[in-house]
């Protein structure tokens, strides 16, 4: 597996990580624990060294799952987790005392003595980002955390945080059907030497071509509430998937592999974290690191997709308001 460094942080990880949320949370019933542990360990065997979780996934169950799966392999992997939600209630909570509590609890669940990358999950408008960055900086100096990250933060917030405690990585949505970060986020990340970790690089499964307007999601699947996954939007967005499938056929690859390889080609400090519960999908995704595009091919991809409008917002309104702050 190829390796990449997240910006100027020195944090070196596999070119593709594994987003672990879906093993416990968000897409219907949790995966069988024994099978989930096996999948995570197989990912390590296949060269993945970067694993992403959060206290809110479950909640708490996903961190515990990673702790169990990776305990025998801890020296070989990088674990990222997150703070910032008020678990059991609604709303955000990035008060310094809460950040410290979450860090200690995450260390216990992950069965480790240090968190490699500790993200603020969403920017809390009630807590100055300087206080958040300073608190994580204290945890770094205490040896409980190695690196500080942000998720779905806006450019101004990133700059303010980075001035207090170096930000190793920003995690935000980025894919062939959500390219908004290219406008205002990628330039300051490059300027400041901050890595970028795209979540949902496969459009929450849509870019694989396995979802259409007739797909029925589990009642607990959060995509039921996402405007972009309303049946009429899924039908309209098939035009995008069709373009990607055509490109994939020419490269003798799958649409998922094209979507991931395209992200990898954007910048050398971009590390996508696709998630899956299936070994076959894991192997398919990891094969994307071997796909290389010429400049002409990348230009052709941009041209092919530019003519396709994506329908539907990526979050329901109440969640849309929490991103880009």
Buried b (16+ CB within 10 A) or exposed e, 221-254: bbbeebebbbeebbebbbebbebbbebbeeeebb
In this structure, what token pair is assigned to residue 221?
Answer: 């699947």
28 class by beta-carbon count within 10 Å (0-12 exposed, 13-18 middle, 19+ buried): middle
How far is Cα 265 from Cα 247, in angstroms, rounded to an integer? 15
How far is Cα 25 from Cα 221, in angstroms, rounded to an integer? 9
How far is Cα 264 from Cα 287, in angstroms, rounded to an integer? 12
Question: Active site residue: 27, 57, 119, 174, which one?
Answer: 57
Buried b (16+ CB within 10 A) or exposed e, 205-217: bbbbbebeeeeee
Say how many CA atoms lie within 13 Å of 102 toward its Cβ: 29
Phi-psi region of 58 (alpha: psi -120 to 50; beta: other; left: phi over 0): left
The reply to whether 174 belongs to the active site is no
Only one residue has tokens 């373009």, namely: 243
Taking the mean position of all CA atoms in its chain, how far away is CA 20?
9
170 class by beta-carbon count within 10 Å (0-12 exposed, 13-18 middle, 19+ buried): buried
Active-site residues, by number, are: 57
């Amino acid at each position: 597996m190829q390796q990449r460094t997240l910006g100027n942080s020195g944090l070196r990880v596999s070119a593709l990580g594994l987003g672990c949320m879906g093993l416990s949370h968000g897409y219907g019933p949790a995966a069988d624990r024994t099978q989930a542990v096996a999948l995570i360990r197989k990912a390590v065997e296949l060269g993945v060294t970067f694993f992403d979780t959060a206290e809110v996934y479950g909640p708490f169950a996903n961190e515990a799952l990673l702790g169990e799966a990776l305990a025998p392999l801890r020296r070989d992997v990088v674990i990222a987790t997150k703070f910032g939600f008020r678990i059991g209630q609604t709303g955000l909570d990035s008060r310094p005392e809460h950040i410290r509590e979450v860090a200690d609890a995450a260390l216990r669940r992950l069965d480790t003595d240090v968190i490699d990358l500790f993200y603020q999950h969403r920017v809390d408008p009630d807590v100055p980002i300087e206080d958040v960055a300073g608190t994580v900086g204290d945890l770094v100096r205490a040896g409980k955390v190695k690196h500080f990250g942000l998720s779905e933060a806006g450019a101004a917030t990133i700059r303010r945080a980075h001035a207090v405690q170096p930000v190793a990585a920003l995690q935000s949505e980025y894919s062939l059907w959500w390219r908004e970060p290219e406008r205002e986020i990628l330039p300051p990340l490059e300027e400041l030497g901050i890595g970028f970790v795209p979540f949902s690089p496969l459009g929450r499964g849509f870019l694989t071509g396995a979802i259409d307007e007739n797909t029925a999601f589990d009642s607990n699947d959060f995509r039921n509430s996402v405007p972009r996954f309303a049946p009429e939007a899924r039908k309209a967005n098939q035009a995008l998937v069709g373009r990607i499938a055509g490109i994939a056929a020419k490269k003798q690859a799958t649409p998922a592999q094209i979507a991931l390889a395209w992200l990898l080609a954007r910048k050398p400090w971009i590390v996508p974290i696709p998630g899956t519960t299936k070994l076959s999908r894991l192997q398919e995704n990891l094969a994307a690191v071997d796909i290389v595009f010429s400049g002409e091919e990348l230009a052709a991809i941009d041209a092919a997709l530019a003519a396709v409008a994506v329908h539907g917002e990526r979050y329901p309104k109440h969640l849309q308001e929490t991103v880009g702050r």
